[in-house]
Amino acid sequence: MQTTGRAKPWRRPFGPLSWTWSGFSLVETLVVLAVVAVLLGLAAPGVATWRARHGLQAVAEDLWNGLVLARSQALVQQQRVVLCPLAVAGGGDAQGAWSSGWQVFVDGNHNGQRDSGERVLLTRGALPAGVRLVGNSTVRLAVKYGADGRSDSLSGTFTLCRLDSPEGWQVVVNALGRARMAQVGSPECP
């Protein structure tokens, strides 16, 4: 029998009815599994950091989307629309605790609080553990848009950070009400 240079998956050492299969031994398989386990162990911390960083960016984008929605709905509906922190009862939180989530609603009576009968446009639940969201003095309690799409307050900045991360995000609302996002290094995380 001639060989063509290709590896055979089997060989026939003893007679026409005796077949043995070639393959990997148990020791070779265990060595490969050990090497794969070591490589995965080295990669895991990097993946965890990457997920935390992108999770923080996703929360910043959620806030930015809420601001854009509030402004556009104020223009479309020609009514005042408010984005404010969630309270236990479901209205605007007087303490300004943005980390508990936020709500966008049409404020028909212009009191800045969600009352019964006022339509909720968006609700965002609590932020992930370890993530902090703080607004400066002009946006600490709420962001309110008038029927012309302008913010009722001066410009304001939301700072979003994670206690174990040197990077963070800021969502800045200018005096006209337009929101933008910016990545910042070493934000002070309260």
For the segment 1-9, the average pLDDT, to the nearest whole number, is 56
Residue 174's pLDDT is what?
A: 92
Mean pLDDT, the chain, rounded, equals: 82
As to burial, measured by CB atoms within 10 angstroms (0-12 exposed, 13-18 middle, 19+ buried), residue 137 is exposed
* 88 vs 34: which has the higher pLDDT: 34
Token pair for residue 179? 């929101």
Whole-prediction pTM: 0.73
Report the percent of the chain where pLDDT is more than 70: 80
Does the pLDDT value for residue 88 go beyond 50? no
CA distance 103 to 70: 10
For the segment 106-135, the average pLDDT, to the nearest whole number, is 87
Residue 97's pLDDT is what?
A: 83
126 and 89 Cβ atoms separated by less than 8 Å:
no
For the segment 97-107, the average pLDDT, to the nearest whole number, is 89
Count of Cβ atoms closer than 10 Å to residue 133 Cβ: 23
Full set of structural domains in the chain with CATH: 25-185 (3.55.40.10)
Residue 92: band (very low, low, confident or very high) from pLDDT cuts 50, 70, 90 = low
* 109 vs 12: which has the higher pLDDT: 109
